[in-house]
Amino acid sequence: MYSLLTNSPKPLPDALCDPSELLPFAKVKLIAFDLDGTLILRPQDPLGNRLIKLFSLLSGPGRNLHLTLATGRTLTGVSATVKQLGGFSKVPLVLYNGSVVMQPEKQALVAHEVIAQDVVANILQLICEFHSAALFIYTVDPEAKLISDYSSTESVFFKGKAPKPELDFNGMSVRDFSEIDFSSDKVVAMLIAVTLPEEKKIIVSRLNLLPGVSVTASGSVYIELRPIRSSKALGLKVLCDRYGISPQHVLAVGDNDNDVELLTWAGLSVCVKNSSDAARASSKFYSVHGAGKAAIDVLEIVRRAQRLFGKARKA
């Protein structure tokens, strides 16, 4: 469905550019930002005041421009950032690297992809064979509603030989696997922590043989699992279809390999400074700035383009 671009990206238009270079940015109707490494550098970092103000100016009443986050984080994991941007009632979200889509107008999940229960059972059986492995299972309740920026829509369950941690890295309370109810708890992602490199290598090779699941193993101790039919690009497509927005009117901003499909799918795409090679190769433009400042750069360009070519946005 997606192909990797081979051309080098162009620099973003600057203050001295020919105004015609801004025309594509004037036609943007949705901007999707990756979170970690793009909007913020570290997970605990707050958004800067300028970034918050630009979000408010560009997505305020009558603007007809949607600003969204497309991230691998959970709903709990993005809550602090979303609250800075006005709350869950204002920001569309693509979570779990595309497995979950939330629309603010609905105050609920509007789409989700799941890992089949039999695949979950096979993974559980596999993990039990290794002493250094522990499994975190992330689930959602598709019927749950967001109420006053609080949600019971997601849970994380733990299975492993080590003691159960109180919180996961998103700040979610971790429950024991014995509490899971597969009739309402739909598995949208799984995370395996493996402390021994040799065991991790074996686990990854066996996971790759399982159907219906996508496996990502980075240089850390973690192995990430998500439904084979999910990605940030597919999640964003769900949102765009609901808003009646075509890909050529979408601007995506990212920095890492899990942003590649998103950057390729969007009509306009920008990689930030120090992006991965794959993210850079998939982008139409690049910013000379890193996390946070690059996002400001993009929003300032869109704002300037709208001022110059206001009528073009109706095309």
DSSP H stretches of helix in 101-169: 117-127
Is pLDDT above 80 for 7? no
pTM value surpassing 0.85: yes
Residues 65-124: pLDDT tens digits?
999 999 999 999 999 999 999 888 889 999 999 999 999 888 788 999 999 999 999 999
Hey, what are 26's tokens?
């004037």
CA distance 190 to 226: 7
Q: Which segments of the chain belong to CATH 3.30.1240.10?
A: 117-227
Mean pLDDT (whole number) for 273-286: 95
Which of 61, 103, 76 lies closest to 236, judged by CA?
A: 103
Beta bridge mates, 271: 254, 286
Q: From residue 47, give the alpha-carbon distance in Å to each of 69, 105, 293, 301.
A: 13, 24, 10, 19
CATH number of 117-227: 3.30.1240.10
Residues 112-167: pLDDT tens digits?
999 999 999 999 999 999 999 999 999 999 888 776 555 678 999 999 999 999 99
Q: Which segments of the chain belong to CATH 3.40.50.1000?
A: 12-113+231-314
CA distance 254 to 36: 9
CA distance 67 to 58: 8
CATH architecture type of domain 12-113+231-314: 3-Layer(aba) Sandwich (3.40)
